Structure 1
Amino acid sequence: MTRIRKVLVTGADGFIGSHLTEELVRRGYDVRAFVMYNSFNSWGWLDHAAADVQGKFEVFAGDIRDPHGVSEAMKGCDAVLHLAALIAIPYSYHSPDTYVDTNIKGTLNVLQAARNQGVRKVVHTSTSEVYGTALYVPIDEKHPLQGQSPYSASKIGADQMALSFYRSFELPVGIIRPFNTYGPRQSARAVIPTIITQLAAGKESIRLGAIHPTRDFNYVKDTVRGFIHMLESDQCIGEVINIGSNFEVSIEDTVAFLQEILGTDAEIVSDDVRIRPSLSEVERLWADNRKASELLSWQPEFAGVEGFKRGLRETAEWFVDPINRSGYKAGIYNI
Protein backbone atom coordinates (compact mmCIF):
# COMPACT_ATOMS: atom_id res chain seq x y z
CA MET A 1 0.00 0.00 0.00
CA THR A 2 1.02 3.65 -0.42
CA ARG A 3 3.14 4.84 2.46
CA ILE A 4 0.98 6.35 5.21
CA ARG A 5 2.66 9.31 6.84
CA LYS A 6 0.09 11.44 8.67
CA VAL A 7 -2.26 9.63 11.05
CA LEU A 8 -5.23 10.92 13.02
CA VAL A 9 -5.77 9.08 16.31
CA THR A 10 -9.18 9.70 17.88
CA GLY A 11 -9.41 9.02 21.59
CA ALA A 12 -5.69 9.75 21.84
CA ASP A 13 -6.10 11.12 25.35
CA GLY A 14 -7.29 7.75 26.70
CA PHE A 15 -5.58 4.63 27.98
CA ILE A 16 -4.90 2.74 24.74
CA GLY A 17 -4.91 5.88 22.59
CA SER A 18 -2.07 7.52 24.53
CA HIS A 19 0.12 4.42 24.32
CA LEU A 20 -0.67 4.14 20.61
CA THR A 21 0.15 7.80 19.97
CA GLU A 22 3.53 7.40 21.66
CA GLU A 23 4.42 4.29 19.67
CA LEU A 24 3.38 5.85 16.35
CA VAL A 25 5.63 8.84 17.05
CA ARG A 26 8.52 6.51 17.90
CA ARG A 27 8.00 4.73 14.57
CA GLY A 28 8.27 7.97 12.64
CA TYR A 29 4.63 8.73 11.90
CA ASP A 30 3.30 12.29 11.80
CA VAL A 31 0.55 12.06 14.42
CA ARG A 32 -2.43 14.32 15.04
CA ALA A 33 -3.99 13.42 18.38
CA PHE A 34 -7.74 14.07 18.65
CA VAL A 35 -8.56 14.70 22.32
CA MET A 36 -11.84 15.56 24.03
CA TYR A 37 -12.22 19.33 24.35
CA ASN A 38 -12.40 20.64 27.91
CA SER A 39 -11.95 24.08 29.46
CA PHE A 40 -8.90 22.93 31.43
CA ASN A 41 -7.03 22.29 28.14
CA SER A 42 -6.23 18.85 29.49
CA TRP A 43 -4.93 16.30 27.00
CA GLY A 44 -5.71 13.38 29.28
CA TRP A 45 -2.87 10.87 29.48
CA LEU A 46 -0.98 12.75 26.77
CA ASP A 47 -0.24 15.37 29.42
CA HIS A 48 2.01 12.65 30.86
CA ALA A 49 3.48 11.44 27.57
CA ALA A 50 6.90 9.83 27.70
CA ALA A 51 9.78 12.29 27.52
CA ASP A 52 11.02 10.98 24.17
CA VAL A 53 7.73 11.87 22.41
CA GLN A 54 6.70 15.09 24.16
CA GLY A 55 6.25 17.93 21.68
CA LYS A 56 6.47 15.56 18.72
CA PHE A 57 2.76 15.19 17.99
CA GLU A 58 -0.01 17.64 17.09
CA VAL A 59 -3.10 17.97 19.30
CA PHE A 60 -6.61 18.75 18.06
CA ALA A 61 -9.21 19.32 20.81
CA GLY A 62 -12.77 18.57 19.77
CA ASP A 63 -15.77 16.30 20.24
CA ILE A 64 -16.25 13.12 18.24
CA ARG A 65 -20.00 13.88 18.21
CA ASP A 66 -19.39 17.05 16.18
CA PRO A 67 -19.13 16.24 12.46
CA HIS A 68 -17.55 19.59 11.58
CA GLY A 69 -14.81 19.21 14.16
CA VAL A 70 -14.09 15.64 13.08
CA SER A 71 -13.81 16.77 9.46
CA GLU A 72 -11.44 19.59 10.39
CA ALA A 73 -9.28 17.23 12.43
CA MET A 74 -8.98 14.80 9.53
CA LYS A 75 -7.76 17.31 6.94
CA GLY A 76 -4.43 16.30 5.45
CA CYS A 77 -4.39 12.88 7.11
CA ASP A 78 -3.65 9.68 5.22
CA ALA A 79 -5.23 7.37 7.78
CA VAL A 80 -7.45 7.37 10.86
CA LEU A 81 -7.18 5.13 13.89
CA HIS A 82 -10.58 5.57 15.52
CA LEU A 83 -10.53 4.78 19.25
CA ALA A 84 -12.77 7.53 20.67
CA ALA A 85 -15.68 5.93 22.51
CA LEU A 86 -17.53 5.62 25.77
CA ILE A 87 -16.53 2.22 27.11
CA ALA A 88 -17.67 1.81 30.72
CA ILE A 89 -20.38 -0.85 30.92
CA PRO A 90 -22.01 0.25 34.21
CA TYR A 91 -22.26 3.84 33.00
CA SER A 92 -24.03 2.58 29.88
CA TYR A 93 -26.85 1.30 32.12
CA HIS A 94 -27.09 4.83 33.55
CA SER A 95 -26.80 6.92 30.36
CA PRO A 96 -27.40 4.82 27.24
CA ASP A 97 -28.24 7.85 25.07
CA THR A 98 -24.68 9.09 25.35
CA TYR A 99 -23.37 5.76 24.04
CA VAL A 100 -25.49 5.99 20.91
CA ASP A 101 -24.37 9.58 20.32
CA THR A 102 -20.68 8.93 20.98
CA ASN A 103 -20.14 5.40 19.72
CA ILE A 104 -22.54 5.16 16.78
CA LYS A 105 -22.94 8.76 15.61
CA GLY A 106 -19.30 9.54 16.46
CA THR A 107 -18.21 6.63 14.27
CA LEU A 108 -20.53 7.83 11.50
CA ASN A 109 -18.83 11.23 11.67
CA VAL A 110 -15.42 9.61 11.25
CA LEU A 111 -16.60 7.48 8.32
CA GLN A 112 -18.31 10.38 6.53
CA ALA A 113 -15.27 12.62 6.90
CA ALA A 114 -12.92 9.86 5.73
CA ARG A 115 -15.08 9.20 2.69
CA ASN A 116 -15.35 12.88 1.79
CA GLN A 117 -11.62 13.45 2.15
CA GLY A 118 -10.42 10.30 0.40
CA VAL A 119 -8.58 8.92 3.44
CA ARG A 120 -6.59 5.82 2.50
CA LYS A 121 -7.22 3.75 5.63
CA VAL A 122 -9.69 3.76 8.53
CA VAL A 123 -9.09 1.40 11.44
CA HIS A 124 -12.22 1.24 13.57
CA THR A 125 -11.99 -0.07 17.12
CA SER A 126 -14.45 -2.74 18.21
CA THR A 127 -14.49 -4.75 21.45
CA SER A 128 -14.78 -8.37 22.53
CA GLU A 129 -17.90 -7.36 24.47
CA VAL A 130 -19.87 -7.52 21.19
CA TYR A 131 -19.64 -11.33 21.37
CA GLY A 132 -21.35 -11.50 24.75
CA THR A 133 -20.94 -14.72 26.71
CA ALA A 134 -19.11 -17.24 24.56
CA LEU A 135 -21.37 -19.71 22.75
CA TYR A 136 -18.21 -21.63 21.81
CA VAL A 137 -14.52 -21.19 22.49
CA PRO A 138 -12.15 -19.97 21.39
CA ILE A 139 -14.21 -17.12 19.92
CA ASP A 140 -13.48 -16.45 16.26
CA GLU A 141 -14.75 -13.55 14.17
CA LYS A 142 -17.75 -15.59 12.95
CA HIS A 143 -19.15 -15.89 16.48
CA PRO A 144 -22.66 -14.38 16.79
CA LEU A 145 -22.90 -10.84 18.14
CA GLN A 146 -24.90 -10.43 21.36
CA GLY A 147 -25.70 -7.03 22.83
CA GLN A 148 -25.69 -7.81 26.55
CA SER A 149 -25.29 -4.16 27.63
CA PRO A 150 -26.13 -0.80 26.05
CA TYR A 151 -22.36 -0.35 25.60
CA SER A 152 -21.92 -3.56 23.62
CA ALA A 153 -25.07 -2.85 21.59
CA SER A 154 -23.70 0.58 20.66
CA LYS A 155 -20.40 -0.97 19.58
CA ILE A 156 -22.21 -3.56 17.45
CA GLY A 157 -24.01 -0.67 15.76
CA ALA A 158 -20.75 1.21 15.22
CA ASP A 159 -19.04 -1.88 13.80
CA GLN A 160 -21.88 -2.48 11.36
CA MET A 161 -21.84 1.17 10.32
CA ALA A 162 -18.14 0.85 9.53
CA LEU A 163 -18.67 -2.32 7.50
CA SER A 164 -21.58 -0.70 5.64
CA PHE A 165 -19.29 2.10 4.45
CA TYR A 166 -16.84 -0.49 3.14
CA ARG A 167 -19.59 -2.36 1.32
CA SER A 168 -21.57 0.66 0.12
CA PHE A 169 -18.81 3.12 -0.75
CA GLU A 170 -15.63 0.98 -0.86
CA LEU A 171 -14.20 2.99 2.03
CA PRO A 172 -10.96 1.24 3.05
CA VAL A 173 -12.05 0.22 6.56
CA GLY A 174 -10.64 -2.50 8.78
CA ILE A 175 -12.10 -3.39 12.19
CA ILE A 176 -9.80 -4.30 15.06
CA ARG A 177 -11.50 -6.18 17.88
CA PRO A 178 -9.28 -6.16 20.97
CA PHE A 179 -10.10 -8.41 23.88
CA ASN A 180 -9.68 -7.12 27.45
CA THR A 181 -6.71 -4.76 27.27
CA TYR A 182 -4.89 -3.89 30.49
CA GLY A 183 -1.75 -2.00 31.48
CA PRO A 184 -0.43 1.28 32.88
CA ARG A 185 -2.86 4.24 32.77
CA GLN A 186 -6.00 2.12 32.58
CA SER A 187 -9.06 3.53 34.33
CA ALA A 188 -10.07 2.06 37.67
CA ARG A 189 -13.44 1.22 36.10
CA ALA A 190 -11.58 -1.87 34.76
CA VAL A 191 -10.98 -4.88 36.97
CA ILE A 192 -7.16 -5.12 36.99
CA PRO A 193 -6.58 -1.49 38.08
CA THR A 194 -9.41 -1.93 40.60
CA ILE A 195 -7.58 -4.88 42.14
CA ILE A 196 -4.12 -3.30 42.07
CA THR A 197 -5.12 0.10 43.48
CA GLN A 198 -6.89 -1.52 46.41
CA LEU A 199 -3.99 -3.89 47.13
CA ALA A 200 -1.40 -1.11 46.73
CA ALA A 201 -3.36 1.06 49.16
CA GLY A 202 -2.80 -1.64 51.78
CA LYS A 203 -6.44 -2.63 52.16
CA GLU A 204 -7.01 -5.86 54.08
CA SER A 205 -10.02 -6.68 51.93
CA ILE A 206 -10.74 -5.73 48.33
CA ARG A 207 -14.21 -5.07 46.97
CA LEU A 208 -15.05 -6.65 43.63
CA GLY A 209 -17.99 -7.76 41.56
CA ALA A 210 -18.30 -11.28 40.15
CA ILE A 211 -15.00 -13.18 40.24
CA HIS A 212 -16.04 -16.36 38.40
CA PRO A 213 -16.21 -14.89 34.83
CA THR A 214 -13.23 -15.53 32.57
CA ARG A 215 -11.49 -13.06 30.31
CA ASP A 216 -8.81 -13.04 27.62
CA PHE A 217 -6.54 -10.26 28.88
CA ASN A 218 -4.37 -8.50 26.32
CA TYR A 219 -1.41 -6.41 27.48
CA VAL A 220 -1.52 -2.87 26.07
CA LYS A 221 1.79 -3.28 24.22
CA ASP A 222 0.29 -6.19 22.28
CA THR A 223 -2.89 -4.22 21.54
CA VAL A 224 -0.87 -1.26 20.28
CA ARG A 225 1.15 -3.53 17.98
CA GLY A 226 -2.15 -4.88 16.68
CA PHE A 227 -3.27 -1.38 15.70
CA ILE A 228 0.01 -0.72 13.92
CA HIS A 229 -0.18 -4.04 12.05
CA MET A 230 -3.71 -3.04 10.96
CA LEU A 231 -2.46 0.37 9.85
CA GLU A 232 0.37 -1.09 7.81
CA SER A 233 -1.47 -3.97 6.10
CA ASP A 234 -3.98 -3.95 3.26
CA GLN A 235 -5.09 -7.45 4.30
CA CYS A 236 -7.40 -5.98 6.93
CA ILE A 237 -9.59 -4.00 4.53
CA GLY A 238 -13.21 -5.11 4.90
CA GLU A 239 -12.22 -7.52 7.68
CA VAL A 240 -12.92 -7.86 11.40
CA ILE A 241 -9.85 -9.12 13.25
CA ASN A 242 -9.58 -10.28 16.86
CA ILE A 243 -6.59 -9.11 18.86
CA GLY A 244 -6.34 -11.41 21.89
CA SER A 245 -3.88 -13.57 23.76
CA ASN A 246 -5.70 -16.90 23.23
CA PHE A 247 -5.46 -17.43 27.00
CA GLU A 248 -8.49 -17.67 29.30
CA VAL A 249 -8.25 -16.77 32.98
CA SER A 250 -10.84 -16.10 35.69
CA ILE A 251 -11.04 -12.88 37.67
CA GLU A 252 -10.43 -14.94 40.83
CA ASP A 253 -7.17 -16.33 39.44
CA THR A 254 -6.18 -12.85 38.30
CA VAL A 255 -6.54 -11.65 41.89
CA ALA A 256 -4.35 -14.54 43.05
CA PHE A 257 -1.63 -13.66 40.53
CA LEU A 258 -1.64 -10.02 41.67
CA GLN A 259 -1.55 -11.00 45.33
CA GLU A 260 1.51 -13.10 44.56
CA ILE A 261 3.17 -10.21 42.68
CA LEU A 262 2.38 -7.64 45.38
CA GLY A 263 2.98 -9.94 48.33
CA THR A 264 -0.43 -9.63 49.96
CA ASP A 265 -3.27 -11.95 50.88
CA ALA A 266 -6.17 -9.53 51.17
CA GLU A 267 -9.55 -11.23 51.15
CA ILE A 268 -12.11 -10.65 48.42
CA VAL A 269 -15.42 -9.09 49.45
CA SER A 270 -18.37 -9.21 47.05
CA ASP A 271 -19.77 -5.72 46.46
CA ASP A 272 -23.38 -5.79 45.23
CA VAL A 273 -23.09 -2.43 43.46
CA ARG A 274 -20.37 -3.91 41.22
CA ILE A 275 -22.46 -6.91 40.13
CA ARG A 276 -23.88 -6.66 36.63
CA PRO A 277 -27.49 -7.73 35.96
CA SER A 278 -27.37 -11.52 35.47
CA LEU A 279 -28.32 -11.47 31.79
CA SER A 280 -25.87 -8.64 31.11
CA GLU A 281 -22.78 -10.26 32.65
CA VAL A 282 -20.42 -11.68 30.03
CA GLU A 283 -19.45 -14.98 31.63
CA ARG A 284 -16.71 -16.15 29.30
CA LEU A 285 -14.31 -14.62 26.77
CA TRP A 286 -11.46 -16.45 25.05
CA ALA A 287 -10.01 -15.17 21.78
CA ASP A 288 -9.22 -17.14 18.68
CA ASN A 289 -6.38 -15.02 17.23
CA ARG A 290 -5.54 -17.12 14.17
CA LYS A 291 -6.92 -14.53 11.74
CA ALA A 292 -4.60 -11.84 13.14
CA SER A 293 -1.69 -14.24 12.69
CA GLU A 294 -2.66 -15.18 9.15
CA LEU A 295 -3.59 -11.72 7.79
CA LEU A 296 -1.41 -9.41 9.88
CA SER A 297 1.46 -11.64 11.03
CA TRP A 298 0.59 -10.49 14.57
CA GLN A 299 1.23 -12.64 17.60
CA PRO A 300 0.90 -11.70 21.29
CA GLU A 301 4.19 -11.26 23.10
CA PHE A 302 2.50 -11.53 26.51
CA ALA A 303 0.70 -14.84 25.97
CA GLY A 304 -0.07 -17.70 28.34
CA VAL A 305 0.35 -17.76 32.12
CA GLU A 306 3.91 -16.45 32.10
CA GLY A 307 3.15 -13.72 29.57
CA PHE A 308 0.11 -12.65 31.58
CA LYS A 309 2.14 -12.52 34.80
CA ARG A 310 4.83 -10.48 33.05
CA GLY A 311 2.24 -7.96 31.88
CA LEU A 312 0.71 -7.85 35.36
CA ARG A 313 4.12 -7.14 36.88
CA GLU A 314 4.71 -4.21 34.51
CA THR A 315 1.22 -2.91 35.25
CA ALA A 316 1.61 -3.29 39.01
CA GLU A 317 5.00 -1.53 38.95
CA TRP A 318 3.37 1.50 37.34
CA PHE A 319 0.41 1.59 39.75
CA VAL A 320 2.54 1.06 42.85
CA ASP A 321 4.32 4.37 42.17
CA PRO A 322 2.44 6.87 44.40
CA ILE A 323 2.72 9.59 41.75
CA ASN A 324 0.95 7.45 39.17
CA ARG A 325 -1.64 6.25 41.67
CA SER A 326 -2.40 9.72 42.99
CA GLY A 327 -5.20 10.27 40.48
CA TYR A 328 -7.00 7.07 41.48
CA LYS A 329 -9.59 6.78 44.30
CA ALA A 330 -9.11 3.25 45.60
CA GLY A 331 -11.97 3.51 48.10
CA ILE A 332 -14.64 4.61 45.62
CA TYR A 333 -16.41 2.48 43.01
CA ASN A 334 -15.63 3.93 39.60
CA ILE A 335 -18.38 3.15 37.11
Structure 2
Amino acid sequence: MDDKKAVFISYAWGGVLDRKEELRTDIVTSLSTEFSVFWDRRSISFGEVPEEVVSNALQRRPLVVFCLCDEEYIAAASTVDSGVYRELAMLAQISASKEVRVVPVLLDGECLPRLPAPLSGRVPLDISEVYARGLKLGQTMWAVASGASQEDVTRSLSEQLRRANVRDKATAYFRDSPTSLYGCGRTHVVEDGLGRILRPPQWMMDRIEWKRRLLEEDDAFWPTKGIWQWHRGTASSGLCALGMAACAAFFPKEPDADYVKAIARAGILLAEGFFSFHNTNEPFTLESEELVNTLISRDGIDTLERLLPSV
Protein backbone atom coordinates (compact mmCIF):
# COMPACT_ATOMS: atom_id res chain seq x y z
CA MET A 1 0.00 0.00 0.00
CA ASP A 2 1.32 3.47 -0.92
CA ASP A 3 2.05 5.39 2.29
CA LYS A 4 1.75 8.77 0.59
CA LYS A 5 -1.24 10.98 1.27
CA ALA A 6 -3.84 10.74 -1.49
CA VAL A 7 -5.02 13.31 -4.02
CA PHE A 8 -7.88 12.63 -6.42
CA ILE A 9 -8.30 14.81 -9.52
CA SER A 10 -11.82 15.12 -10.93
CA TYR A 11 -12.01 16.78 -14.33
CA ALA A 12 -13.77 16.67 -17.69
CA TRP A 13 -11.89 16.10 -20.90
CA GLY A 14 -12.88 18.24 -23.82
CA GLY A 15 -11.99 21.65 -25.17
CA VAL A 16 -8.29 22.05 -25.91
CA LEU A 17 -6.87 18.60 -25.13
CA ASP A 18 -3.24 19.66 -25.45
CA ARG A 19 -3.78 22.37 -22.84
CA LYS A 20 -5.34 19.87 -20.43
CA GLU A 21 -2.51 17.43 -20.98
CA GLU A 22 -0.05 20.21 -20.10
CA LEU A 23 -2.15 20.92 -17.03
CA ARG A 24 -2.12 17.25 -16.04
CA THR A 25 1.65 16.99 -16.42
CA ASP A 26 2.26 20.15 -14.41
CA ILE A 27 -0.05 19.17 -11.54
CA VAL A 28 1.01 15.52 -11.31
CA THR A 29 4.71 16.39 -11.45
CA SER A 30 4.36 18.84 -8.57
CA LEU A 31 2.12 16.65 -6.42
CA SER A 32 3.64 13.21 -6.95
CA THR A 33 6.75 13.85 -4.83
CA GLU A 34 4.59 13.88 -1.71
CA PHE A 35 1.19 12.59 -2.75
CA SER A 36 -0.29 9.55 -4.45
CA VAL A 37 -2.20 11.13 -7.33
CA PHE A 38 -5.23 9.58 -9.00
CA TRP A 39 -5.96 11.03 -12.44
CA ASP A 40 -8.32 8.59 -14.12
CA ARG A 41 -7.08 8.69 -17.72
CA ARG A 42 -3.64 7.63 -16.45
CA SER A 43 -4.78 5.67 -13.39
CA ILE A 44 -7.26 3.24 -14.98
CA SER A 45 -5.84 0.30 -16.93
CA PHE A 46 -7.34 -1.67 -19.80
CA GLY A 47 -9.80 -4.30 -18.58
CA GLU A 48 -10.63 -2.51 -15.33
CA VAL A 49 -14.10 -1.28 -14.43
CA PRO A 50 -13.77 2.53 -14.15
CA GLU A 51 -16.44 2.92 -11.46
CA GLU A 52 -14.73 0.32 -9.26
CA VAL A 53 -11.30 1.89 -9.67
CA VAL A 54 -12.66 5.38 -8.92
CA SER A 55 -14.60 4.09 -5.91
CA ASN A 56 -11.49 2.42 -4.49
CA ALA A 57 -9.43 5.58 -5.04
CA LEU A 58 -12.00 7.61 -3.13
CA GLN A 59 -11.69 5.30 -0.12
CA ARG A 60 -8.13 6.49 0.62
CA ARG A 61 -7.72 8.55 3.79
CA PRO A 62 -6.77 11.28 4.29
CA LEU A 63 -7.94 12.42 0.87
CA VAL A 64 -7.87 15.72 -0.99
CA VAL A 65 -10.17 15.93 -4.01
CA PHE A 66 -9.53 18.64 -6.59
CA CYS A 67 -12.42 19.25 -9.00
CA LEU A 68 -11.14 21.18 -12.02
CA CYS A 69 -14.13 23.30 -12.95
CA ASP A 70 -14.53 24.76 -16.41
CA GLU A 71 -17.43 24.86 -18.87
CA GLU A 72 -16.86 21.22 -19.87
CA TYR A 73 -16.95 20.16 -16.21
CA ILE A 74 -20.19 22.03 -15.49
CA ALA A 75 -21.82 20.53 -18.58
CA ALA A 76 -20.63 17.01 -17.71
CA ALA A 77 -21.88 17.37 -14.13
CA SER A 78 -25.45 17.63 -15.39
CA THR A 79 -25.11 14.87 -17.99
CA VAL A 80 -26.49 11.65 -16.51
CA ASP A 81 -24.03 8.74 -16.65
CA SER A 82 -21.05 10.89 -17.62
CA GLY A 83 -17.84 10.19 -15.72
CA VAL A 84 -18.06 13.50 -13.86
CA TYR A 85 -21.71 12.88 -12.95
CA ARG A 86 -20.84 9.50 -11.42
CA GLU A 87 -17.77 10.88 -9.60
CA LEU A 88 -19.82 13.65 -8.03
CA ALA A 89 -22.40 11.13 -6.86
CA MET A 90 -19.63 9.16 -5.13
CA LEU A 91 -18.16 12.36 -3.67
CA ALA A 92 -21.54 13.31 -2.20
CA GLN A 93 -21.39 10.14 -0.07
CA ILE A 94 -17.99 10.90 1.45
CA SER A 95 -17.74 14.71 1.36
CA ALA A 96 -18.84 15.13 4.98
CA SER A 97 -15.94 13.03 6.28
CA LYS A 98 -13.37 14.95 8.34
CA GLU A 99 -10.60 13.15 6.46
CA VAL A 100 -11.87 14.23 3.06
CA ARG A 101 -11.34 17.73 1.67
CA VAL A 102 -13.17 18.59 -1.54
CA VAL A 103 -11.77 21.66 -3.31
CA PRO A 104 -13.51 23.25 -6.32
CA VAL A 105 -10.69 24.55 -8.55
CA LEU A 106 -11.98 27.30 -10.81
CA LEU A 107 -10.29 27.23 -14.20
CA ASP A 108 -13.07 29.56 -15.30
CA GLY A 109 -14.30 32.07 -12.72
CA GLU A 110 -17.76 32.23 -14.32
CA CYS A 111 -18.39 28.66 -13.17
CA LEU A 112 -18.64 29.66 -9.50
CA PRO A 113 -22.42 30.32 -9.33
CA ARG A 114 -23.12 27.10 -11.23
CA LEU A 115 -21.08 24.66 -9.18
CA PRO A 116 -22.93 21.37 -8.70
CA ALA A 117 -23.43 19.52 -5.44
CA PRO A 118 -21.35 18.64 -3.48
CA LEU A 119 -19.09 21.52 -4.62
CA SER A 120 -21.44 24.48 -4.16
CA GLY A 121 -20.93 26.40 -0.94
CA ARG A 122 -17.31 25.27 -0.52
CA VAL A 123 -14.43 27.73 -0.54
CA PRO A 124 -13.06 27.51 -4.09
CA LEU A 125 -9.51 27.81 -5.33
CA ASP A 126 -9.84 30.44 -8.06
CA ILE A 127 -6.90 30.05 -10.43
CA SER A 128 -8.81 31.26 -13.49
CA GLU A 129 -6.54 34.25 -14.16
CA VAL A 130 -3.37 32.21 -13.78
CA TYR A 131 -4.80 29.44 -15.96
CA ALA A 132 -5.90 31.92 -18.63
CA ARG A 133 -2.34 33.26 -18.76
CA GLY A 134 -0.99 29.76 -19.37
CA LEU A 135 1.08 29.84 -16.16
CA LYS A 136 2.10 26.85 -14.06
CA LEU A 137 -0.41 25.67 -11.48
CA GLY A 138 1.32 22.68 -9.94
CA GLN A 139 3.00 24.45 -7.02
CA THR A 140 -0.26 26.14 -6.05
CA MET A 141 -2.08 22.79 -6.08
CA TRP A 142 0.72 21.28 -3.99
CA ALA A 143 0.44 24.11 -1.45
CA VAL A 144 -3.34 23.68 -1.13
CA ALA A 145 -3.02 19.89 -0.79
CA SER A 146 -0.41 20.45 1.91
CA GLY A 147 -2.76 22.66 3.92
CA ALA A 148 -1.67 26.20 2.99
CA SER A 149 -4.01 28.98 4.15
CA GLN A 150 -6.20 31.04 1.83
CA GLU A 151 -4.06 34.09 2.61
CA ASP A 152 -0.81 32.32 1.68
CA VAL A 153 -2.23 30.89 -1.55
CA THR A 154 -3.76 34.22 -2.58
CA ARG A 155 -0.46 35.99 -1.95
CA SER A 156 1.42 33.34 -3.94
CA LEU A 157 -0.96 33.61 -6.90
CA SER A 158 -0.70 37.40 -6.86
CA GLU A 159 3.09 37.20 -6.88
CA GLN A 160 3.00 34.68 -9.72
CA LEU A 161 0.83 37.02 -11.78
CA ARG A 162 3.06 39.95 -10.93
CA ARG A 163 6.14 38.07 -12.12
CA ALA A 164 4.35 37.19 -15.33
CA ASN A 165 3.34 40.81 -15.88
CA VAL A 166 6.88 42.07 -15.32
CA ARG A 167 8.27 39.37 -17.61
CA ASP A 168 5.77 40.37 -20.32
CA LYS A 169 6.78 43.99 -19.86
CA ALA A 170 10.46 43.05 -20.21
CA THR A 171 9.72 41.00 -23.33
CA ALA A 172 7.97 43.98 -24.91
CA TYR A 173 10.82 46.31 -23.92
CA PHE A 174 13.54 44.14 -25.42
CA ARG A 175 11.48 43.54 -28.55
CA ASP A 176 11.89 47.25 -29.23
CA SER A 177 15.39 47.54 -27.73
CA PRO A 178 17.25 44.27 -28.50
CA THR A 179 20.58 43.96 -26.71
CA SER A 180 23.20 41.20 -26.48
CA LEU A 181 26.67 41.09 -24.95
CA TYR A 182 29.53 38.82 -25.97
CA GLY A 183 32.70 38.24 -23.94
CA CYS A 184 35.83 36.83 -25.58
CA GLY A 185 37.53 34.20 -23.43
CA ARG A 186 40.94 35.05 -24.90
CA THR A 187 41.04 38.86 -24.86
CA HIS A 188 38.30 39.46 -22.27
CA VAL A 189 36.90 42.22 -24.43
CA VAL A 190 33.13 42.54 -24.09
CA GLU A 191 31.10 43.80 -27.06
CA ASP A 192 27.45 44.19 -27.90
CA GLY A 193 25.70 42.72 -30.93
CA LEU A 194 26.79 45.67 -33.07
CA GLY A 195 30.45 45.28 -32.19
CA ARG A 196 30.51 48.23 -29.78
CA ILE A 197 32.88 47.74 -26.83
CA LEU A 198 31.29 47.66 -23.39
CA ARG A 199 32.75 50.47 -21.29
CA PRO A 200 31.47 51.69 -17.92
CA PRO A 201 29.01 54.58 -18.29
CA GLN A 202 30.27 57.95 -17.20
CA TRP A 203 28.09 58.01 -14.11
CA MET A 204 29.90 54.91 -12.84
CA MET A 205 33.24 56.56 -13.48
CA ASP A 206 32.13 59.59 -11.47
CA ARG A 207 31.14 57.63 -8.38
CA ILE A 208 33.77 57.48 -5.65
CA GLU A 209 33.08 53.84 -4.75
CA TRP A 210 33.79 52.69 -8.33
CA LYS A 211 36.12 55.29 -9.86
CA ARG A 212 39.44 53.85 -8.65
CA ARG A 213 38.51 50.29 -9.60
CA LEU A 214 37.31 51.28 -13.06
CA LEU A 215 40.43 53.31 -13.79
CA GLU A 216 42.73 50.30 -13.30
CA GLU A 217 44.81 49.52 -16.34
CA ASP A 218 46.37 46.11 -16.99
CA ASP A 219 46.06 43.34 -19.54
CA ALA A 220 43.50 41.44 -17.46
CA PHE A 221 41.23 44.30 -16.35
CA TRP A 222 41.01 47.56 -18.23
CA PRO A 223 37.35 48.64 -18.20
CA THR A 224 37.89 51.88 -20.13
CA LYS A 225 39.13 49.72 -23.03
CA GLY A 226 36.32 47.19 -22.61
CA ILE A 227 38.53 44.55 -20.96
CA TRP A 228 36.76 42.92 -18.02
CA GLN A 229 37.26 40.04 -15.60
CA TRP A 230 34.99 37.07 -15.08
CA HIS A 231 35.60 33.83 -13.23
CA ARG A 232 33.88 31.04 -11.38
CA GLY A 233 33.33 31.53 -7.67
CA THR A 234 32.55 34.47 -5.42
CA ALA A 235 31.36 37.65 -7.08
CA SER A 236 34.35 39.99 -6.72
CA SER A 237 34.24 43.77 -7.06
CA GLY A 238 35.47 43.45 -10.65
CA LEU A 239 32.69 40.98 -11.42
CA CYS A 240 30.08 43.26 -9.85
CA ALA A 241 31.46 46.19 -11.87
CA LEU A 242 31.00 44.13 -15.03
CA GLY A 243 27.47 43.25 -13.91
CA MET A 244 26.60 46.90 -13.39
CA ALA A 245 28.07 48.01 -16.73
CA ALA A 246 26.23 45.18 -18.48
CA CYS A 247 22.91 46.09 -16.86
CA ALA A 248 23.45 49.75 -17.77
CA ALA A 249 23.89 48.67 -21.40
CA PHE A 250 20.61 46.76 -21.32
CA PHE A 251 18.79 49.59 -19.52
CA PRO A 252 20.28 52.92 -20.63
CA LYS A 253 18.62 55.73 -18.67
CA GLU A 254 19.36 59.05 -17.07
CA PRO A 255 21.16 58.08 -13.84
CA ASP A 256 18.89 59.37 -11.09
CA ALA A 257 19.31 57.99 -7.57
CA ASP A 258 16.68 55.27 -7.95
CA TYR A 259 18.16 54.09 -11.25
CA VAL A 260 21.70 53.93 -9.84
CA LYS A 261 20.48 51.94 -6.84
CA ALA A 262 18.59 49.51 -9.10
CA ILE A 263 21.56 49.08 -11.47
CA ALA A 264 23.86 48.42 -8.53
CA ARG A 265 21.54 45.73 -7.20
CA ALA A 266 20.97 44.20 -10.63
CA GLY A 267 24.72 44.19 -11.27
CA ILE A 268 25.38 42.19 -8.11
CA LEU A 269 22.63 39.68 -8.98
CA LEU A 270 24.00 39.32 -12.51
CA ALA A 271 27.53 38.85 -11.19
CA GLU A 272 26.36 36.18 -8.75
CA GLY A 273 23.89 34.46 -11.05
CA PHE A 274 25.60 34.64 -14.43
CA PHE A 275 29.21 35.85 -14.68
CA SER A 276 30.44 33.81 -11.70
CA PHE A 277 29.41 30.62 -13.55
CA HIS A 278 31.94 31.17 -16.36
CA ASN A 279 35.59 30.20 -16.16
CA THR A 280 38.14 32.92 -16.83
CA ASN A 281 39.04 31.58 -20.28
CA GLU A 282 35.44 30.83 -21.31
CA PRO A 283 33.52 33.11 -23.66
CA PHE A 284 30.02 34.14 -22.70
CA THR A 285 26.89 35.34 -24.46
CA LEU A 286 24.39 37.33 -22.45
CA GLU A 287 21.00 37.78 -24.10
CA SER A 288 18.14 39.82 -22.70
CA GLU A 289 16.16 36.67 -21.85
CA GLU A 290 19.06 35.34 -19.76
CA LEU A 291 19.32 38.66 -17.97
CA VAL A 292 15.61 38.72 -17.14
CA ASN A 293 15.61 35.08 -16.00
CA THR A 294 18.63 35.71 -13.76
CA LEU A 295 17.09 38.73 -12.07
CA ILE A 296 13.71 37.07 -11.53
CA SER A 297 15.18 33.80 -10.27
CA ARG A 298 17.34 35.64 -7.73
CA ASP A 299 14.48 37.66 -6.20
CA GLY A 300 15.28 40.70 -8.30
CA ILE A 301 11.72 41.23 -9.53
CA ASP A 302 11.48 44.64 -7.77
CA THR A 303 14.79 45.69 -9.28
CA LEU A 304 13.77 44.61 -12.77
CA GLU A 305 10.47 46.44 -12.46
CA ARG A 306 12.28 49.66 -11.47
CA LEU A 307 14.60 49.41 -14.47
CA LEU A 308 11.84 48.89 -17.03
CA PRO A 309 10.23 52.06 -18.42
CA SER A 310 6.90 53.08 -16.93
CA VAL A 311 3.88 52.53 -19.15
TM-score, normalised to structure 1's length? 0.36
Higher Cα radius of gyration = 2
Normalized per residue, the structure richer in helix is 2
Structure possessing the higher relative contact order (Cα contacts under 8 Å, 6 or more residues apart): 1
